[in-house]
Amino acid sequence: MSDEQDIILADLSDEELTLQMHDDLYDGMKDEIEESVNILLSRGWLPYDVLTKALVEGMRIVGIDFRDGILFVPEVLLAANAMKGGMAILKPLLAETGAPRLGNMVIGTVKGDIHDIGKNLVTMMMEGAGFEVKDLGINNPVENYLEELESGEYDILGMSALLTTTMPYMKVVIDTMIEKGMRDDYVVLVGGAPLNEEFGKAIGADAYCRDAAVAVETAKEYMAKKHNQLGA
Amino acid sequence: MAGVSDTTLTTDGLSAPIGNDGRVLIIACGALAREILALIELNKWTHMALTCLPANYHLYPDKITDAVEAAVIKHRPNYAEIFIAYADCGTGGLLFDKCKELGVQMIKGPHCYSFFEGNDVFAKTSEDEITAFYLTDFLVKQFDAFVWKPMGLDRHPELRDMYFGNYTKLVYQAQVNDPALDAKAAEISKKMGLPLERRFTGYGDLAVALAAL
């Protein structure tokens, strides 16, 4: 995104540095992102502001260009890797400084599927947006999801699959939740390359999310609805 | 066909049918062209003609169903029977539904790794092999065009473990015995950082499906 060379990050103003971080995220420059995060923190920025104004906003731009076919999966992965570097610095600080929490989510790739790139992106973006996320990893049978949901105060269940052969397992999980009378206690979001909105509806999910940015927006909408209902 | 490169089969397919006596046309994925022609020659199936769609449609499986439909409509007036040499191939049942609607048969199974190994055998073993990355002869030959470059690994090899970190082995399903392909598969296994397991499958259920035509 940027052609500039040899920029001394510490010499940039806050505004310039934030914009530079958007560029560096876009270009997948992990070392520069880590350095910039530390610079902003040393200038007294709240971890939550570094996260939202620099990292999340940068990834939002990456997400738009991915959706519009300007960036492709490899570039998004490099950007995500850079953001991960920044998040690793911020995460312990966010807990200490009482950053707002929007809700709690359990996420995992379904049984028989070991693909986790999309799931990891969603996890990172959800965390960036203020959700607490428990990542169950890959190849999860229904028991893993249910045990985790029952063990904590969760709002959202996210399931991911990359294969047409494994995506039907999402229905097994949802049907089991219905059998146990717990389906309506959670918002169920599903995603993965071979899925579509029709599939999401057919299996009884609340929403299909075509990418990480949509997952975040959808989760926020459902949490807002939930709070409105509780307040009514 | 000898003059058609694997790269052409990947990106362009084979638009002009090979063989044309008006009886059976096989509309196949470009990744199966050489195997189908070998079977036709071996079995002297002179009633069969072959045309292929680009193999790289597998990178965007949503293209496959429409492309197969267009090919059926184009060639139907010239052949008594048409057979679709695709498995489900990531279409999530859409190709099966379309073939049913068009009144044509297709290969059973989820994808070529399954029917080369034999769908019944694959169904039994694949549950224990979810961490296996499969290659066929065609994919060994076209690994860079089909896997490495589309994933950006030629430009960013550091992404390798993000893509393949959860895999534990590379299974090369060999359709023919060819030391050059074995050597290439060994190179790929090194490149991917995965141990190689070679299995000779021959043509598996592909041969069974074509023999029934």
Instruction: Assess A72–B contact: CB distance below 8 Å, yes or no.
Output: yes
**What would the two tokens of residue A74 be?**
């490899």
Distances in Å between the Cα of A219 and the Cα atoms of A132, A134, A137, A199, A224 are 12, 15, 20, 19, 9
From chain A, the residues in CB contact with B153 under 8 A are 74
Is-contact B112 B32, C-beta < 8 A?
Answer: yes
**Minimal-distance CA residue of chain A relative to B61:** A194
Instruction: Assess B5–A contact: CB distance below 8 Å, yes or no.
Output: no
Rounded to the nearest angstrom, the minimum Cα separation between A199 and chain B is 10
| Residue A112 to residue B91, Cβ atoms within 8 A | no
Distances in Å between the Cα of A15 and the Cα atoms of A44, A79, B38 are 14, 20, 65
pLDDT at B14: 77
For B75-111, write each residue's pLDDT tens digit.
Answer: 999 999 999 999 999 998 999 999 999 999 999 999 9
Label residue B128 by pLDDT band (50, 70, 90).
Answer: confident
Identity of the residue in A77, A116, A165 whose CB atom sits nearest the CB atom of B159: A77
Edge-to-edge strand ranges of the sheet holding B132-135: B132-135, B169-174, B196-200
Rounded to the nearest angstrom, the minimum Cα separation between A144 and chain B is 18
Label residue A5 by pLDDT band (50, 70, 90).
Answer: low
For B32-76, write each residue's pLDDT tens digit.
Answer: 999 999 999 999 999 999 999 999 998 888 899 999 999 999 999
Instruction: Assess A217–B contact: CB distance below 8 Å, yes or no.
Output: no
For B178-203, write each residue's pLDDT tens digit.
Answer: 999 999 999 999 999 999 999 999 99
A-B CB pairs within 8 A amount to 44
Identity of the residue in A74, A116, A194 whose CB atom sits nearest the CB atom of B156: A74
Rounded to the nearest angstrom, the minimum Cα separation between A168 and chain B is 10
pLDDT at B2: 55
For B147-177, write each residue's pLDDT tens digit.
Answer: 999 999 999 999 999 999 999 999 999 999 9
Question: What's the distance, CA B118 to chain centroid?
Answer: 14
Give the mean model confidence (pLDDT) for residues B136-156: 94
> Mutation test of the interface with chain B: which of A29, A83, A114, choosing the one with the most B Cβ atoms within 10 A?
A114
Give the mean model confidence (pLDDT) for residues A105-134: 94
For B5-28, write each residue's pLDDT tens digit.
Answer: 888 888 878 777 777 677 999 999
pLDDT at A25: 96
Give ∠ CA B117-B120-B125 in degrees, rounded to 5. Answer: 70
| Residue A194 to residue B92, Cβ atoms within 8 A | yes
pLDDT > 90 fraction of chain A, expressed in percent and rounded: 80
Identity of the residue in A74, A75, A139 whose CB atom sits nearest the CB atom of B130: A139
Rounded to the nearest angstrom, the minimum Cα separation between B130 and chain A is 6
Instruction: Assess B163–A contact: CB distance below 8 Å, yes or no.
Output: yes
From chain A, the residues in CB contact with B88 under 8 A are 164
Name every residue whose Cβ is closer than 8 Å to that of residue B166 and which is 6 or more positions away in sequence. Answer: A114, A115, A116, A138, B131
Label residue A3 by pLDDT band (50, 70, 90).
Answer: low
Instruction: Assess A38–B contact: CB distance below 8 Å, yes or no.
Output: no
Instruction: Assess A159–B contact: CB distance below 8 Å, yes or no.
Output: no
| ipTM of the complex in this document | 0.84
Q: Can you list the alpha helix ranges (DSSP code H) found in chain B? A: 6-11, 33-43, 62-75, 94-102, 112-117, 119-125, 137-141, 143, 160-164, 179-192, 204-211
CB neighbours (10 Å) of residue A64? Answer: 12
Give the mean model confidence (pLDDT) for residues A149-175: 96
Label residue B121 by pLDDT band (50, 70, 90).
Answer: very high
Identity of the residue in B61, B127, B166 whose CB atom sits nearest the CB atom of A116: B166
pLDDT at B28: 96
CA-nearest of B125, B199, B147, B195 to B167 is B195
Name every residue whose Cβ is closer than 8 Å to that of residue B105 and which is 6 or more positions away in sequence. Answer: B83, B84, B99
pLDDT at B100: 97
**Minimal-distance CA residue of chain B relative to A196:** B92
| Residue A73 to residue B156, Cβ atoms within 8 A | no
Label residue A4 by pLDDT band (50, 70, 90).
Answer: low
Average pLDDT, chain B: 93
pLDDT at B82: 97
Residue B144 CA to residue B171 CA, distance in Å, equals 17
Q: How many CA atoms lie within 13 A of B212 on its CB side?
A: 12
Rounded to the nearest angstrom, the minimum Cα separation between B59 and chain A is 11
Residue A79 CA to residue A63 CA, distance in Å, equals 10
Residue A21 CA to residue A82 CA, distance in Å, equals 10
Element holding B135 (H helix, E strand): strand B132-135
Identity of the residue in B91, B152, B166 whose CB atom sits nearest the CB atom of A74: B152
Rounded to the nearest angstrom, the minimum Cα separation between B88 and chain A is 9
**Minimal-distance CA residue of chain B relative to A199:** B92
Give the mean model confidence (pLDDT) for residues A18-29: 97
pLDDT at B11: 80
Amino acid at B195: P
Rounded to the nearest angstrom, the minimum Cα separation between A137 and chain B is 10
Residue A230 CA to residue A208 CA, distance in Å, equals 25
From chain B, the residues in CB contact with A73 under 8 A are 151-152
Amino acid at A159: M
Residue B183 CA to residue B200 CA, distance in Å, equals 15
Identity of the residue in B88, B93, B166 whose CB atom sits nearest the CB atom of A114: B166
How is A118-162 classified by DSSP, letter by letter?
Answer: HHHHHHHHHHHHTEEEEE--SSB-HHHHHHHHHHS---EEEEE--
Instruction: Assess A81–B contact: CB distance below 8 Å, yes or no.
Output: yes
